[in-house]
Structure 1
Amino acid sequence: MISQKIRFFRSRIPAFECTPGCHDCCGPVMTSTHEMSRLPVKSDAEHEAALTNLSCPHLGSQGCQVYAERPLICRLFGTTPRLACPNGNRPEEMVDPAIDRQIQRFFVETRHVLV
């Protein structure tokens, strides 16, 4: 059930080109425990170092190391006015407001943990 919801939401979030080298959306974020279980396990030291740098433990020198499995919150960045890209990048069509509201409800109703 949760997997189906996540797949549904992912399919409704539009993609767009980011500014090369920008990682503004790669800060500490919360994700559902289901999404977290699909990411590689990082050590406590890796988590602490990322938190100290206000980044994500899955951010490497070449960018996101888990891009295909990145959490919904990461996918939303730049696609909704609430999470606008500071560089002004965005898809031609922003995420549908009804889908955005459904995702926000999912966030509230689902247990989340710090990535």
Structure 2
Amino acid sequence: MFMNSSKIRFFRQRIPSFECIPGCHDCCGPVTTSSEEMARLPRKSAAEQEKALENLSCPHLGEQGCTVYMERPLICRLFGTTPVLACPHGKRPQLMIDEKIEQQIYQFFKETRQVLV
């Protein structure tokens, strides 16, 4: 069985990427992530987290977009790659995520403690 960091790396490698609309952050709302992924992100103050939640945003969303893009959680990487989490503007990769991998990711979410970003 994979350790969580190995699973996360495995899933990251299998989630397709695509070009978003520059300046769009419509999918950057409050999300949950595993404790392990959260530990990779810079800590935000309670005030920063509260303000983001009030705005239905992410505390890691800056004026130029995601400030933690390379370490963004799996849930953020899934947006736009599956019909379940479709881009509201119709952007998507050439090939959507493999359904089996997608189901494995959702199972991983169920099996790991999730925290609010």
Please state which band the TM-score falls in when normalised by the shorter chain: over 0.9
Give every structure 1 segment of 4 or more consecutive aligned residues whose post-TM-superposition deviation is greater than 6 Å.
none
RMSD over equivalenced CA pairs, Å: 0.3
Deviation of 1:25 after TM superposition, in Å, equals: 1.2
Q: Report the AA paired with residue 63 of structure 2.
A: S
Instruction: Report the counterpart of residue 78 of structure 2 in structure 1.
Output: 76
Instruction: Report the counterpart of residue 34 of structure 2 in structure 1.
Output: 32
Runs of 5+ consecutive residues of structure 2 not aligned to the other structure = none
Alignment pair present for 1:54 and 2:56? yes
Normalised by the length of structure 1, the TM-score is: 0.99
Deviation of 1:103 after TM superposition, in Å, equals: 0.2
Q: Report the AA paired with residue 112 of structure 1.
A: Q
Normalised by the length of structure 2, the TM-score is: 0.98
Tell me, what secondary structure is at the counterpart of 1:113?
Answer: strand
Q: Report the AA paired with residue 39 of structure 1.
A: L
Alpha-carbon distance between aligned partners in 1 of 2:35 and 2:28, rounded to the nearest angstrom: 18
Runs of 5+ consecutive residues of structure 1 not aligned to the other structure = none
Number of residue-to-residue matches in the alignment: 115
Alpha-carbon distance between aligned partners in 2 of 1:12 and 1:24, rounded to the nearest angstrom: 23
Q: Deviations over 1:25-56 (max 9, x none)?
A: 11000000000000000000000000000000
Q: Report the AA paired with residue 103 of structure 2.
A: R
